[in-house]
Amino acid sequence: MDGLSFDDIAARLKDEFTYAVLDVNAGEKIPFVRVEADAVARVARFLSREDELAFDFLMYIAGVDYPAEDKITLVYHYFSYRHEHELMVKADVPREGGVARSVAHIYAAADWLEREIYDLFGVAFDGHPNLIRLLTQVVTPRLTKVLPLYPFTHTKLS
């Protein structure tokens, strides 16, 4: 079965979540819909349960640090095996104290993906069943772009 176009999927989201859809960007290499961070779980539930959409697979969640804008963007990439269409959803949270709703109760794969983002970027996921560190054992500086830059020097080896 042929999947819906990005424009069709975005229109469905805008109709259902008029209050939460902030931006629809079809001009990118991978088009995306930007939503409010507190609506991430409601959007994910809608994407997974609507028969016409049937996004049954969460491919990944990534965190992207934008220090100049004082935000971390969460990127959710969904795929539907039934309809063979995909969708990228983005949500912004503050760099300090950022919180988004967990989607682990909708997509099992989100369990570890959210823990990884929590561990490396400091973004908390409200409602996560086990939000503990995954990669580091102790509190370490987050992997955000605040590391000092040192001039690069090249040493010629003889």
Domains along the chain? 6-126 (3.30.460.80)
pLDDT in tens, 106-151: 999 999 999 999 988 889 999 998 888 777 665 555 555 554 545 5
The tens digit of pLDDT for each residue in 8-39 reads 999 999 999 999 999 999 987 889 999 999 99
- Output the six-digit token pair for 124: 């908390």
pTM, to two decimals: 0.85
Confidence bin at 104 (pLDDT 50/70/90): very high
DSSP H helix total and E strand total for the chain = 3, 7
Q: pLDDT band at 158, cuts 50/70/90?
A: low
- Taking a C-beta distance cutoff of 8 angstroms, is the pair 2, 84 a contact? yes
| Token digits of residue 148 | 């000092």
